Structures are given as structure tokens and as C-alpha cells.
A and B are shown apart, each in its own frame.
Chain A
Amino acid sequence: MGSLSHADEVQLKAQLQDAVGACTERCLYQSAKWAAELLNSFPSSDDDGSDTDADSPMSDRMPQTPGNRSTKDAIETRLEARELPKFLLAKTYFDAREFDRCAAVFLPGPLPKGSVHLGSSPATKAKQPLKGKAKVGTPSKQKLPAEGMPGLSQKALFLSLYARYIAGEKRMNEDSEMILGPQDGGITVNKELPGLSAILEQWFEGLPGSGRHGQGWLEYLYGIVLTKGKNEKLAIDYFVRSVHLYPYNWGAWQELSSLLGSVEELHEIAGKLPQNIMAFIFHVTASQELFQSTDQVHNTLGQIMSIFPASAFLKTQQALLHYHQKDFDEAEQIFSNLLVSDPHRIDSLDQYSNILYVMSMRPKLAFLAQLASTTDRFRPETCCVVGNYYSLKSEHEKAVMYFRRALTLDRNFLSAWTLMGHEFVEMKNTHAAIESYRRAVDVNRKDYRAWYGLGQTYEMLEMHSYALFYYQRAAALRPYDPKMWMAVGQCFAQIGKYGNGIKAYKRALVAGSYYDAGVGSSFGSGEGSGLGGGILDPDVLYQIALLYERMGDVRQCASYMEMVIAQEEGEGLEGFEEEVGNGVGVTMTTSRARMWLARWEYDRGMYQRAMELANEMCQDGMEVEDAKALVRDIRARIEREKGDARGD
């Protein structure tokens, strides 16, 4: 799919144009914005040329586009034409943010009462989708309003139900307590959901018999409703249906990706998806969100970007991929360029601020905060940037204030929950921290930072076995992050499962070498030696050694201690690339290892070796006192042995 032919490109443009219109009509503003952005990110040189000949394909684009296939549907067209005035009325109400009034244009009267327990009970989550479906469908009296519904086009139905949904969300926000206030349990629900669910359920039941075809929109809405009801399997089904019927609704893709909890699920679902450009973009985004920055993803992204070279969205994805890969400079560079090319864009600036935070670029972070807050003070992203800045300045109270504001603006703003958790940890307010992290995890189970934070907080509370669970979740999300594995190993060590601890640490070594080498090729080499990859983290090695010592396996311990020292010069890398060949140099850890080795050698009588090591320590200038004492001891022993020998 490297580059598109001219005709294809023209067609793609037409489809995107159509998508903008369709999404706007249905008041899906974010999707419309996304599509429009993409529409404007084709290579600029082509724009001049296509101006003239754009008309010819435009005329015959109607039959081609999949989105319009359903518009061609005679029933829908007729219905839409009939209710156009009312539809316009409803649309204007929606635009004026009078959601209830908008819904009432087509659906006067209350919605049928569905099963209230549809989703909010955690039991349904585990149940079979069919069962949940049956549960909703059981009340028979709800059939009544359904009779009137065939008289509505799908577009009108979508708009009214969507308005209902939004109205419910709005009310839910209004009912919610202050963020992390005493009453704020995050359990306020959208009260419209059961009714919506019932109607949509019926509609889809009646669909096969009515001779009508779904257009993708109602499927999308039903997917959302099901997601809110934690009926995720079914929701995924409906989203897949939706993107099949209308692929250019980015919202559907987004919802779909947020439902995927692991790479396996992504691979599983990939087969069911249509093969088009949207699916590729989806794949990249989903991979990014699952922290999969493999070459394949990079390649795919590169190809898509060759079609949309100016797309800020794709650039952001690219930067985030680099970020996940800990290639901060590259990520920072991309974001910085994005900032210059589109100064008013606030989307995902919070991610950028995370990068700057990690890189400790305070002035730039301040500048970013300045920029964001000049553009729009009341965007959750802005608040997050400001919060990050204060956090970097160690003004944690202020940081919390801004994260809290971000959450007040958008309760589902994931990164704010996590970051607020970090701040609470800094402020030693563990309970608040746990709650924040928990809420973050509830919003998005893929956020490893929140899992990791939870683990850390419980570790602060000395609840190691409890923390282990969270670390494991985090490690599962980021299998190639040594930090996660180290945390897991540490927990294992704390609760006395040394074997498991060692395993976890070895994973950390592997993961570390994987990242340091920059490529995944060395991954999978023998865990035992751990020297297959690039430079190894001496700390981890040292920890492993200590664990072996505790297990009583002194020999293994010694070999790992040797390895720690070996990292000083990067000995294990002979024949490997030059640039990664330099070792870590003398550090606290290596000195400690050397000390341990020296003592060990001393204990088993290898005075010469012990002497060597102790002298090295004196040279390095670390723990000189201890080393000198050791040297004295060794000399005494050697003298005595000599004396003994002479005496003999």
C-alpha cells in the first residue's frame, strides 16, 4: 500500500469529505474533526493539481463510496427526505446544546424502561453476551414504542438517541461529586443507558426482518451503550459491524481500540476488520496504546504517513511510539515540530508534557504550559501540562489542584488520574494515591503507569504481596520494560519467593538488553547467562546475586557479582556494535559487588584475587576505608601463611 494511485487518492479524498459531512450531520464533532484533519494532510503538491480534475471523480463518487451505499438505500432516502425539516430542527437543538429537546423531536415521551441492572452489576460483565442480550429483551411492554420506529430514518434515530445519551452524560457529570470528594465514588451512572439499550436492542432485533440495512451509526451508538454497560464482547462485535458498514467514523475505531486489553486481543480482532486505510491507522493507534512499538508498527505507520505526510494525528502516534520506546529525544523533536506547524493544537499536549517531564526540560515545559494556557485554559490537556510543570517544580499541592481541574473538565481523562496519583504519592497521601490510580485503571485498564503506581503505593504501605499483583499487571502491559520486572522481582524477594524473584529480575535483564540494543533481535537469548544482549543493568545483576546468596547458592551469586563488575567495562560486548560497547564505569553497585567478591575470595582463601580486588577498590575511591581494612587483613593472613609455611 506504499503509495496510492492518483485515482485512489482522489477517491479517498472524496470519502473523507463525505465522512466529515456525515459525522457533522450526526453531531459527532470529534470524528468529523479527525476526518477533516486527515483530509487536509495529503501532500500539498497534489492539492494544486487536483483542484481542476477533482470534479470528475466527485460526480461519480456517490456510487463508489461505501458510506453512500446505504444512502442509496431507497427506504432511508425516502424517510430522510420526508423528515428533513424535523431533522434540521433536531440538529439545531443539538448544536445549541439542548439535548433533551433534540431527542424529543423524534422520540417524544419517555424511553422504555430497560433493565436497570443491565450493565452496572459486575456479574453481567462476565456473562455471555447472548445472556445479557436476552436479559434486556425480556420485558415485553417495551415493544410498544418500537412500533413507531420504522417510521424514522436511521439518521434521525441516531441523532435522537445520541442526544439522549449525551443528555444522560451531562446529567451524570452534574450529579457527580467533587473529584475525590467524600461522596465521589465514580459510580454515578448515565441514567439514559437502560432505555437506550432497550430501544437499540429492539431495533437490531427487528433489522433483519425489516428489509433495511444498517448504516454503521446505530451500531456505533449501541457499541458505546454496551461499553458503558461493561458488556464488552458484544460491544466489540457491534463496533466491528459499525466499521464494516462505515469505516470513516473514527469514533468507532477509537472505542474499539479502548476495548482491547492486550496485543492478543488486537491480533484476534485484526482478522475481523475490513482491509482499508482506516484499519491500518487503527492498527497503529491500537498498537501504540498497547505500547507495541515494533518495527512492523513503525513500518505501517511510515507507509500511512507517506499518504498523509501532514497529519498531526499520525505524527503524534509516531512520537508516542518513540516515547514508549524511551527514545525521548526523537519524540520530543516530533512534538516540537508539531507545535511549530500547528500552534493552536492542544490535543495530546499532555503526552508531550510527560516527555518533557521525563527529560526534565523545565523551561520548555513552562513554555508549553504558557502556550497551552494562552490557547485554552479550560482544556484537560492544558491543566495536565500545567500540573506536570508544577510537579516538576515539586509544588505538588498546586499540581494536584491542576490535575483535579482537568478531571473536573473531563472525568475520563486518563492521564490526569494517573498523574494525580503520582502527586499524591509524592505528598505521601497513599490513600488518595491509591484511589486516583484505581480510578485511572477503571477508566483504562491499559495504563501501566497506574498499575505500577498502585504497586508502588502498596509497597510504601509494606504490603508487598498485595503490590505484586499490580506489578504483574504492569509487567504484562509492558513486557519489555525492565523497571516493571525489577519491581516484580523486588516484591518476590520481599515475600521470600527468591526463585520467582530471580526469574523476574532475569526478565528485567532481558528486557533491558532489548531496549538498550534498540532492536528486538537479541531478545530471547539464554536467560541464564544474560549476557547475550547489550549492556546489562548492574543493579539488577547485583540484586540477582543477592537473591542467590540468600538462597544459599554462593557460586551463582559469585558469578553474578563477577558479571556486575564486568559491566564496568562492558566486557560482555566484545564483537558487538561499537557505540554500545562502553561500560557503565565504576558505580556504587559495582563497588559493592567488588567488595562482596573480595570478601568472598578472602573467605575462601584466594588472597591474591582478594588483594587485587581490594586494591582496585582503593583506586576507584569507593568505600576506601573498608577496602583498606580488608587489605590489611589480607596482608596479615598472607604474612601468617608465609610464616606458617616457613615454620613448616
Chain B
Amino acid sequence: MAPMSRYLTPQKISLLVLVKLYCTSQLPSSCTIPVLSFILTHSQTLPPVLSVARAQPSHDSSYYVSFPISAFEEVLQGHAFSMPGRTLLDVFLEHMWKLNSFDALHSLFDSIGGLLAGGDEDGEHDANPDRIILSRTSPLGSFVRRARLEFTRLQFVSALKLWTSFIQYRAPTAQWTRRIAGLAAIGVDAVAADIGLQQGDALYEVAYGHLAEEEDTDQSLSVDDFDRLLDFQLDQLQRLGCRVPEEMRTQLRDMLGPSGVVLRQSHLVQFFDAWKAGDYTSAFDNLHRYYDYAMQTRDKIHYQYALLHMAILQADFGCFGEAVAAINDTISTARENQDMVCLNFALSWLNHMSKAYPKQMKGVGYMGMLGTERDGLTFLKTKAREAKMWNLLSATLLNEAKLCLSTGDSVTRAFEFMYQASHLNIRENINNNGSVMLLTSTIYSRLGITHLSDAYCHLLLLVYNDTSPIDERIRATCRLAFNEVQTGQYDKGLARIESIDQSAHGVLKFRQYIFFSTGLIKLKRAIRHTDWSACESYLTSLKPDIATDPELSFLLQSTHIEYLIARSLFSEAFNTIEDLSTSLKEEGADILHRVTLLLLKADMFRKLGTPERGFSVALRAASVAYKSKLIPQLWIALGLLCNILNGLGEFGEAMRLLEAIVPQSMLVEDNHLTGILYSHLSDSLIGLAGQDDISTSHGTRARSTHLSNAEMYIDRARDCFKKVEDIEGECEQLVKRAIVAKLRGDEQLSEEWAQNHNKVWEEGRARIEGGK
């Protein structure tokens, strides 16, 4: 098998024929645009950005590289030529079949030079004003020039190979129209026809006999096309972090395999693929292989990139020690080679890692290169500005915004940084919008405006779906799912997560993320269902490890505590909380996490029946949450405080507080929270009713008003709990109703509520049984 041609393919020759036709004969103006856009799409002279924007997702990328001859038919069939009764296709095919010998092919390439401006000095083209002269730098002009250059560089044998594959490529058109049938009847080669050769003659067989055998179209791809294909794959892999789809992989293998061409990029593609597949050893193997080959052709300049890749790879597989060593090497090499881009990127990455995995990084002896985190970010920001690395600058700004949030600084500052980054993205056309959207969504969810948070997630998924990394897409989807879970739509949330593209499952990291998210939702539901055996089985499989996403791992831990509290395993819960809070303090963790822990602690005391003990905790949580605008946490804390006030008999104050916050808390769209708040409100009302003096008529009236209000809130709370399928909460409200009915003296009604309670409880039990 002869090696693949470098650039020229039969398709490109056909395009050249079309270009020549376009330039030399007067095409009707109606077909100018379709013809030109067809040529441009296929000649690949456009910059990649544009072609990406234009590419329809339904088309495989290789479609553009190797397209069948029928593609010409589709475009050209519909247009009439200036000569009546002839379509453009006829003319085109006529030109195609005029290439009737190997020499004619050479002549074609000789003649296309004349299409270029200044191609022939003798001013010959002035003779025909209808002719279109291509500027040398126009897309068509550069296509023509490139084709000519490549043809000149061809060895005779390669040119011959090109010719035969062109014959093959053209062959199906012979039957298309009657007009070219005459031309085609001469056969593929006029010279052979002159000698009087027929198919089957010995001489003919020598020249063209192999045509019949070579059915495969390995020539329809040139090395250049393949380069582009692999570059596209790499771009996808790097930008989106996905894997090469299975069908694409087999296709690539089929194309590469027989040709015997080994392209460097193919190693890189394999490296990324193996990495994302979690195949640590092959990833390393391929990384080394790629850079070994890259060294051979380029300079040693790329050594730091090899190290950088290695560091990222190591960290990805949880080998932080090796990763830190590699990144240190990267930094020193980059410094040595004056590669600011690489250096800054390495520093930024290091900064990110120490933020994301502080414990692990400290564990391997990383002490921080740039002093405090804030200093580090400022440093990176200036560096990025100096080196005009807008990408890095944008990422750093987002990091700064995140830092603001996590330390509980003012939210406005965070917004400021974020808008700066967003502005930069637009101005410099940086594809960093996914992160901005996610961060905005995070900020809004911290501010307790859930629908805005949702909106940004939707925005990311709708608008930037094609251009943002899979990672961000998955995060957005999971966040949406969690928000749905808050309102009790477990199934919808699960379905949403399940709807994530299957291709994401190919990457180990994403797979784990999805797995944990699904598990988390199921665990939450099981806790609400009080299905302890299910909880236990979930919990065993949901043990976060080192490499788990830190965000998710905290969620898992807090849910674990929730489970312990719900199951009344208080001492265990207490120990876990204490452990976690110390480790969080060490890490300097996100303020949100610490507040959440405080709230859990306070909740535990409530559950324990001694809410007063959690007073200081809840108060602290409330003040911190208020200061750093963690609104949902603030409502929870206030709810706990009200509960404490209720416990202390300060019903009036509790009621006033609750009435103030309940409407606002609705914004959070957390039904469980709302249920709890309603329940507390009803408690306060009942407490007030208890304080009412029933001896006076006024007191009696007030009590009954309080009671009916309480009943109303109980019902509301019950609805909320029912929505989130919190069986305990629901039953509690039913019990409250029964008690209130009893208090009213309506024994029968009380009995009814009690039975109702039993029924619900039984149903809950049955649900658990049925679930198993």
C-alpha cells in the first residue's frame, strides 16, 4: 500500500475543476453563492472557528474531509447553465471527463496558475473580461496555490496514484447523464483509447487493472486531511474533556491502519483518550510516545508541556506527590526556556489544585509557592495581564470571585470579579463562558434565589452546550437536578441526570461524579423515607475518596450526618460533626460548608430534644450566614432559633420572626425548609394559644383563631413534607393535628387524624417494603 498523499485527493481535484469552471466560464449569478460556499466548505481554507460555527452537528467531521462525488451532484444539479437545456452539473462533468489522460491532469495543474492574479505576466487575461481572477491571498486563491504547490512536490508515482484514485472517484458519474456518456465512452484514458485498448487487454490491465481491485477509498483522505481530523479530535478532547466516541475510534483506526501512516497527533489523541478512560498506564505510555516523537521534529521547547501534561495526569489519578514534583519541574523548565505562557499556566494550575485539594496537597509537602492565596491570585493576575494571557486572566478573576465567596467576603465584590471576567470573555473571545455561568448560578443559589440559579444553568446548557467542557455541562445538569430534589421532584431529578449524554460515562471522573450525584439523591430520598436499610446500602457505596470532587464529597459527608441524626445515632453524629469541622477549619474551607456544619449541629440538638443547647451554635450560624449572605442557611438558622424560642416559651417573638422570614424563604424553593418553618410557625401559634386566657371571651376567640391558624400552617407544613416525601415530618404534622383536634375537644376528629397518621405511616412502611 502506497503511503497516503500529503494533501491532494480526488475530491480536491474535483474542487479545482469546479474552481476553474467558476473562474473561466460565466456562471449564472443565481448559483454563485451555492457553488462558492460549497467550495469553501470543502476546501478547508476557512479558519477553524468559522467552520465549527457552521458545522451542523448531524454531520460527522469526516464528512467534510472525504465527501462522495454525489456531493457535487446535490449542489450543481439544480442550477441551469447559461446554455439552455444544460445544468451546471453537465458542464462540470464535461470538464471532469475532459481530464482524459494522466497528462491532462498535469495540464490542469499547470493551467490553474493562470487563474491567479499575476499568475502570468503577459497580461493575457485582459483579453477576456468575463474571467474571474483570483487574488493570491483570497480563500480560493490560497486553495489553488496550495494545490499547485503540493502537486509540484509530488513524486511521479504519487501523482500516478492520485490519478488512478481520481479515476475511481469519477467513475460513478459515467452513468449520470446522457451527455457525458459520450465522453465517458472513450474510457478513462484517451491515450489508451487511441491505441485501441479495451478493458481486459493485457496492456490496459497493466495500466489500470488494479482499479477494479482497489475498492477501498484510502486515497480519499490525505495526510493533511487526517491532520485536520486529528486536530479536531484533539480540540474536542482538550476543550470538552470527552473521549473519542467508539464509532469514531473504529473509523479512525480503519483509516489509519492500512495506510501505514503514523501521525504524531494520533499518539496524543490516544493519550487523551486513555486518560479520560482512566487507563493510567496507557495514558502514560502514549504521552511519552507522543513527546518522544515530537522531540524528534521540534525543539526541546516542548519539554515543559510534556511535564505539564504529566502533572495534570498524575493529579487526575490522585498521585499528588508525583504531580507536585512534575509541576515543579514544569515551572523550572518553563522559567529556563522563558516560556511565560506555560509558566503562568502551571502556576495557575498549582493554585487551583491547592485550592481544590488542600489536604492532599499539604500531605505531599506542598507549602504554597506564592504565599497566601490572595497574593497568589494577584500575582497571577498581573502576570496574565503582562503576558496578555486573557484566558488565564479570566480564569483568575473567576477564582478570585470564588475566593470571595468562600471566605464570606462581600457578594458584590464577587459579582464585580465575575463581570470583569465576563467582559473579558466577550472582548477577547475567550471560551470561558461555561465557568462564568456556573459561578453565577452558584452565587444566586447562595443568595437563595433558586430560580435564577436554575436559569443560568439552563442558559449554560442551551447556549454554550457545544462549546463548554463536558465537565461543566455535567455540573450544571446535576445542580438542576439537586434543585429539583429540593422541591421534592426526585424522579425528575434522577431522570435529568440520567439524560446526560452516554459519552460522558466513558470518562471515569465524570462517571463517578454522575454516580455520586445519583447516589446522593437516592440517599436523601431514603432518609426522608426513613428507609434505613436502603440508606446503609447507599452509604457503603458512596464513600468519597481522595480524588472525588471536593464539593460533592462535602455534600456526601453532610448527608451522612443528616442520616445519622435522622436515625437518632446522636453520639456518632456528634463525633462525625466534630471531626469534619476540625478538618474543615484546617483546610480553610468554604464558609458555606462550615455554616452547614454548625446548622447540622444545632439541628442535632433540636432532634435531641434540647434545642437550647444549640442556641449559641444556631445564633453564630445565623450571624455568619447573614454576614456572608448565605440566605438559605440564614433561614435554616433562623428556623432553628425560632424553635429554640418556642422551646423557651417566647412564642410571640418566634412567631414574629417566622412570619417575617417565611415569605422570603419561599424564594429558596426548598420545600423541606419551608415545611420546617411552617411547622415552627404552627408550634408558635399553638404556644400562643396555650398562653391565651380562655376565661375571657376574647381569650377564647384568640385561642381559636390561633388554633385555626396553627391548623392552617400545620396543613401547609404537611403539604410541604408530603412533597419532599418526608414521612416523619408528615406524621409529625398529623400528630399535631390530632392533638389540636383533641385540644378543641373533638375526640372523633382527633381519632380520625390519629388513624390518618397511622395510615400514612403504614403507607410509608409499605413504600419501603415495596421498594425492596
Residues of A at under 8 Å CB distance from B? 336, 339-340, 343-344, 362-367, 369-371, 373-375, 377, 386, 389-390, 393, 395, 398, 402
Contacts and interface: CB of A to CB of B under 8 A. Distances in A.
Given A340-B197, A402-B156, A370 B163 contact: yes
A261 B207 CA distance: 39
Contacts of B206: 343-344, 371, 374-375
B160 A343 contact: no
A340 B163 contact: no
Interface of B: 101-104, 106, 110, 152, 156-157, 160, 163, 189-192, 194-197, 201-203, 205-207, 210
Contacts of A336: 195
Contact of B189 (A340, A367, A377, A393): A367
Given A370-B102, A395-B152, 20 more contacts: A336-B195, A340-B195, A340-B197, A340-B201, A343-B203, A343-B207, A363-B101, A363-B104, A364-B194, A366-B101, A367-B189, A367-B192, A369-B102, A370-B160, A370-B163, A370-B207, A371-B203, A371-B206, A371-B207, A373-B157
Nearest to A340: B203
Contact of B191 (A363, A373, A374, A395): A363
B156 A373 contact: yes
Contacts, number: 65
A337 to B, nearest CB: 9
A384 B156 CA distance: 12
A390 B102 CA distance: 12
Contacts of B197: 340
B102 A366 contact: yes
Contact of B106 (A366, A375, A377): A366
A363 B98 CA distance: 13
A393 B160 CA distance: 16
A386 B103 CA distance: 12
A363 B195 CA distance: 12
Given A371-B206, A375-B206, A365 B103 contact: yes
A393 B156 CA distance: 13
B195 A393 contact: no
B205 A386 contact: no
A377 B103 contact: no
A310 to B, nearest CB: 15
A460 B197 CA distance: 45
Nearest to A385: B156
B682 to A, nearest CB: 95
Contacts of B207: 343, 367, 370-371, 374
A363 B190 contact: yes
A343 B191 CA distance: 15
6 residue pairs, one from A and one from B, having the closest CB atoms: A366-B103, A343-B203, A367-B191, A363-B103, A366-B102, A343-B206
A369 B156 CA distance: 9
A443 B101 CA distance: 36
B160 A374 contact: yes
The interface centre, meaning the residue of A343, A344, A390 with most chain B CB atoms within 10 A of its CB, is A343
Nearest to A402: B156
A366 B110 CA distance: 15
B525 to A, nearest CB: 72
Contacts of B189: 367
Contacts of A377: 157
Contacts of A393: 106, 110
Q: Most chain-B Cβ atoms within 10 A of its Cβ — which of A343, A369, A370, A402?
A: A370
Contacts of B202: 340, 343
21 contacts: A336-B195, A340-B195, A340-B196, A340-B201, A343-B201, A343-B203, A343-B205, A362-B103, A363-B101, A363-B103, A363-B191, A366-B102, A366-B191, A367-B102, A371-B203, A373-B157, A374-B160, A377-B157, A389-B156, A393-B106, A395-B152
B157 A363 contact: no
Nearest to B203: A343
A526 B75 CA distance: 74
Contacts of A363: 101-104, 190-191
A340 B205 CA distance: 11
Contacts of B106: 366, 393
Contacts of B194: 364
A381 to B, nearest CB: 14
Nearest to B209: A374
Contacts of A373: 156-157, 160
B637 to A, nearest CB: 84
A396 to B, nearest CB: 13
A375 B203 CA distance: 11
A336 B201 CA distance: 14
A339 B203 CA distance: 7
Contacts of A402: 156
